[in-house]
Amino acid sequence: MKRKINWIFISIIFFSIGIFILGATLFARNSMHKVTELNLNNYLEIVKVDYENLDETQIIDKYKVIDNYLRITFIDSQGDVIIDSLVDNLDNHLNRPEIVNIGKVYTRYSNTLKIDMMYLATNLDNGDYLRVAIPSGSIMTFLNDFVALSIVVGILILTLSIIVVTYLLNYSMKPLEEVKTILEDVNEGKFKEIDQMVKFDEISGLVSEINIINKTISENINSLRTEKNKTDFLLKHMNQGICVLDSNAKIILLNDYLKNLYNFNIDFNINKDYRYLFRDEDIQKAINEVYKEKNNINLVSNIGDKYYSVMITYTDEAWSFNSGVILIYTDITTLKNIEVLKRDFFVNASHELKSPLTTIIGSTDLIIQGLAKDKNTVDDLISRIHSEAKRMDNLVMDMLTLSEYENRNQKNSKRMISIRSSIDNIIETLRVLINESKTVIDLEVENLTIYFSEDDFYQLFKNLIENAIKYGKLNGNVFIKVFSDSDNIKFEIKDNGIGIPKSDLSRVFERFYRVDKARSKSSKGTGLGLSIVKHIVLNYNGKIELNSEENVGTEVIVTFPKSELHLT
C-alpha cells in the first residue's frame, strides 16, 4: 500500500512538472518573441533618427559592428534596394510582406541569408523605405537553455518530492497524534482538518467524525463571535444609552454611552444590582414599578447640564430566556433648549409688541370716543399711532430677518462688492441720525473687493454703525477701520459712548436684550440688531469680538477668512 501511494504521488509530481515545463516554455517563447519585437521597433526608431543626420552608407558603417545580429536595408520608393548591411545586388523588394504592410512585424525565411529572420519596415520622409531585421534563431538559444534548466530543476524537485513523500508515508498511520493539538484550537474557533493519509477502517471513521465535529464547532464559534462583534460595534457607536437588567434586577448589559455617562466601572460592577449604576430616586422608583406592573414608563432625567428621555420597558424575550427590563437613554438637551428659546422668544416678542399696541389702542379709543376735541390733539394721537405702528413694523421685519438668518433661508445673492462704496452708502442712509447726534464718522477703509451679499453686508454693518451712533455721546466719534492681514479681513467699529457693563457683555447678542432699555426705547430699537449681526457673521464662517468699558466706549471686531470672501 505504501509503495502504491508512493508511485501515485511520484506520478502526479512527474506529470505536474512536465505540464509546468511545457507551459513555462510556451510562455517564455511568447515573452521572448514580444521582447524581440520590441527590440526590433527600438532599432527601427534609432536608425530612423540617425537618418536625419547621416546618409545610408554612414548608417551602415555605424552599425557594422553588430551586422551579424542587426540587418539594415534602405529601399527606394520603387522597391529597389539602395543599400543593405549584409548583401549586395538584391532584387526588387516592393512585394515583400513587411513592405506591403508597413509597421507590421513579419517572421519569415530569408532566401538570401538562408535563416529565419524577423522583419519590420517604415516609410521615410522622402518616400523611401527603411527595413531592419533580427535573426529569430536568437530566441531558440534562450529557449533551449531555459528548457534545459527547467529539466534540471524538475529532476531536483522530483527527487526532493520522493524523499518528502517517503518520509510522510512513514507517519501515515499516526494521524491521531494531531487530534489533541487540533481540538485545543477549536476553543479559538480555528478549524483544521486531520488529513487521512491512509484508508484504514480502524482509524478512518474516527478521523472523519472528528473532522465533522471539529468543523461544526469551529463554524459555530466563529458565527457567535461575528454576531457578538456586530452587537458590540453597534452598542459602542450608537448615540443612545442602553442598559439591560435581568429578572433579579442585576445589570447584565451596558453600552459605552451609559458607562461614560455615569463613570461606571463595568468590569467591577457588572452583574450587580442596578442601584450600583442608577442613583436617581425617580429612576429607581420607575424601575421598581416596571418590574411590579410589567409595563413601560417614560420619564425625563437631568444629568449635569443635559436632559435625557429614559424609556424603561419590561420584556419576556431576553436572550437568557428570562424576563428583564431594558432602559434606553436618549439625549433631548437640544429639544429642551429649543423649548426654552421658544418660550423666551414668545414672552419677549409679546412684551415688545404690547407697548406699541397699548399706545395705538389707547390713542384710537380717544379719537373714537371723541375725547380728543381739538385738531392738534387728534394730530398728535395720529402721529403716535403712526410712530408705534412703524415701530411694530420694524420689530416684525427684524424678527423675520433674524428667522431667515437662523434657518439659513436667505437667498444666495452673493457677488463682488466694494467695501468702501458699500460703507459709504450705509453712512448716507444714517445721515439723519448722524446729524441729529452730531456724530463725527472717521473712516480708515482699505479699497478691497469681497464676495458678499449686498443685503447681508447692509444688515451687518448698518446695525453695527447705527448702534455705535445711538449709544455714543452727543458730538461723539465713531471710528470705522477695515484692513486685511495674511489670512483674514477685519472690520473694526468703535465708539466713545456709554459702553457696556461687564455683566452684560455675554448677553448682548441675545434676542431683545438691551443694555440701556430706556435709551433703546427712545431710539426706537427692536433689540434684534446684534442677533442678526451674529448670525450673518456665523453664516460666513467669521467671528465677532466685543470689547467695552463703561463710559469709555465699545469696540466691535468682525473677522472673516479671506478664502470665504474670495478676496482679490
- DSSP string computed for 414-444: EEEEEHHHHHHHHHHHTHHHHHHHTPEEEEE
Distance between start and end Cα atoms, the chain = 90
Q: Categorise residue 319: left if φ over 0, alpha if ψ from -120 to 50, beta otherwise.
A: alpha
| Look-up of cell digits 437588567 | 245
Q: Give the count of beta carbons closer than 10 Å to the beta carbon of residue 564.
A: 16
Give the span between the Cα atoms of 97 and 105, in whole angstroms: 9
DSSP letter at 225?
H
How high is the pLDDT of residue 568?
57
Give 71's strand partners.
Answer: 133
Give the span between the Cα atoms of 532 and 398, in whole angstroms: 8
Q: What topology does CATH give the domain 337-402?
A: Helix Hairpins (1.10.287)
- DSSP string computed for 479-519: EEEEEE-SSEEEEEEEE-SS---GGGGGGTTSTT--SSHHH
How high is the pLDDT of residue 410?
54
How high is the pLDDT of residue 522?
45
- For 485, phi then psi, to 5°, come to -120, -160
Q: What topology does CATH give the domain 410-565?
A: Heat Shock Protein 90 (3.30.565)
E-assigned strands of 198-266? 241-245, 251-254
CATH code that applies to domain 238-331: 3.30.450.20
- What's the angle, vertex CA 229, arms to CA 228 and CA 230, rounded to 5? 90
Q: What does pTM read for this prediction?
A: 0.39
Give the span between the Cα atoms of 317 and 74, in whole angstroms: 92
Give the span between the Cα atoms of 529 and 331, in whole angstroms: 32
2-142 and 410-565: same fold? no
How high is the pLDDT of residue 311?
92
How high is the pLDDT of residue 360?
75
How high is the pLDDT of residue 45?
83
Give the span between the Cα atoms of 262 and 359, in whole angstroms: 55
* pLDDT tens-place string over residues 134-184: 887 655 666 666 667 777 777 787 777 777 777 666 665 555 556 556 655
Tell me the residue length of the chain: 568
Q: Are strands 81-84 and 71-75 parallel, antiparallel or unpaired?
A: antiparallel
Q: 414 with 451: CB under 8 angstroms?
A: yes
How high is the pLDDT of residue 506?
66
SS3 173: coil
Q: What topology does CATH give the domain 2-142?
A: Beta-Lactamase (3.30.450)
Give the span between the Cα atoms of 96 and 105, in whole angstroms: 12
How high is the pLDDT of residue 523?
46
Q: 356 with 391: CB under 8 angstroms?
A: yes
Q: Give the count of beta carbons closer than 10 Å to the beta carbon of residue 325.
A: 23
Q: For the chain, which residues score pLDDT lower than 70?
A: 1-6, 28, 137-147, 167-210, 231-237, 317-322, 338-355, 390-412, 506-507, 509-529, 567-568
- DSSP string computed for 296-352: EEEEEEEETTEEEEEEEEEES--TTSS-EEEEEEEE-HHHHHHHHHHHHHHHHHHHH
How high is the pLDDT of residue 504?
72
How high is the pLDDT of residue 479?
93
How high is the pLDDT of residue 370?
72
Write down the domain spans for the chain: 2-142, 191-231, 238-331, 337-402, 410-565
